[in-house]
Amino acid sequence: MHPQTLASATMLLYIEGLFNLVRGQSLFLVGIVMFPAAWAIANDKRWGWRLGVGSAAVAILVRFSWYGLGHPMSLAFALLFPVVLLVLLVHPQSREHQRIWFS
pLDDT tens digits, one per residue of 51-79: 999 999 999 999 999 888 888 898 999 99
Pinpoint the alpha helices (H) of the chain.
4-20, 25-42, 46-67, 72-90, 92-101
Residue-level pLDDT at 66: 87
Global pTM reads 0.93
Number of structural domains in the chain: 1
DSSP letter (8 states) at residue 23 = S
Contact 41, 9 (CB under 8 A): yes
Neighbours of 56 (CB within 10 A): 27
pLDDT exceeds 90 at position 8 = yes
Residue 52 belongs to domain spanning: 4-101
pLDDT tens digits, one per residue of 10-48: 999 999 999 999 988 889 999 999 999 999 999 999 999
Residue-level pLDDT at 94: 96
